[in-house]
Amino acid sequence: MANSQPVATLYDAPMWQSLAREHMQLQSCGHCGTLRYPPGPICSACTSMDYHWTDLSGGGQILSWVRFHRAYFDDHPPPYNAVAVRLDEGPIVVSNLIGPEPEGEWIGRRVRLTYRCHLDRTQHAFMLFEQS
């Protein structure tokens, strides 16, 4: 095994830099305002190639979640969770829920963006909104 590695295209780099500043930003379409995740060269909603990097409100909702019971990476010993979060701005990001876990149903719970140092990088994570 080995450690997990981010995909680092030309368009991902500024997002990872914003995560390192603990101030996550995504591209906002210069024409229609749609946010892009993963970052990329063109808006899939309107095909405009214009964009600017924009702040996030930090709010979101859990769409789904899983718990890994098998080891795939040295830096992620099981068991651990992964959550699919729909950001209030629209995009769906896959991340980890840290801190207290929900009692009962996870799907539909409000969460807020936070940051976690992991290996040599800072990456996004989410916490239950009620715990903030």
Partner 1 sequence: MTGSLSGVASVIGIGQSDWVGDHSRVRAGERPHDSYGYGAQAFLSALADSGIARDEIDGLIVGPTTAYERVGELLGLNVRWGGQADAMTAVMEACMAIHAGLASVVALVYGNDQRSAQVNYGGPDAQGGAAFLAYVYHAPWGFTSQGALYAMMARRYMHERGLSEAELGEVAVAQRLAASRNPRALMRKPISIEDYLASPFICEPLHLFDYCLINDGGVALIIAEAGKARSIGRAPVAIKGVGRYDLNRGATSLEPRLLDYYLPAQQAVAAQVFEMASLGPEDMDALQIYDSFSLHIPLALEGYGYCPVGGAGRFMRETGISLAKGLPVNTSGGHLSESYMQGWNHQIEAVRQVRGEAGDHQVEGCRHVHYSSDVAGKAISIIYGA
Site residues (vs partner 1, CB under 8 A): 1-7, 37-38, 44, 63-70, 72-73, 75-76, 80, 82, 84, 91-96, 105, 107, 118, 121, 123
Residue 38 or residue 100: which is nearer to partner 1 going by CB? Answer: 38
Question: How many angstroms separate the Cα of 26 from the Cα of each of 10, 55, 65, 79, 104?
Answer: 14, 7, 23, 30, 32
Q: Closest distance between partner 1 and the C-beta of residue 51, in Å?
A: 17
Residue 24 or residue 93: which is nearer to partner 1 going by CB? Answer: 93
Question: How many angstroms separate the Cα of 84 from the Cα of each of 17, 41, 56, 66, 87?
Answer: 22, 23, 17, 9, 10
Q: Closest distance between partner 1 and the C-beta of residue 16, in Å?
A: 9
Q: Closest distance between partner 1 and the C-beta of residue 108, in Å?
A: 9
In whole angstroms, give the CA distance from residue 31 to residue 26. Answer: 15
Residue 59 or residue 81: which is nearer to partner 1 going by CB? Answer: 81
Q: Name the residue with tokens 């979640």.
A: 65
Residue 18 or residue 95: which is nearer to partner 1 going by CB? Answer: 95
Backbone angles phi, psi at 17, to 5 degrees: -65, -40
Q: Closest distance between partner 1 and the C-beta of residue 100, in Å?
A: 18
DSSP string, 73-84: STT-PSSEEEEE
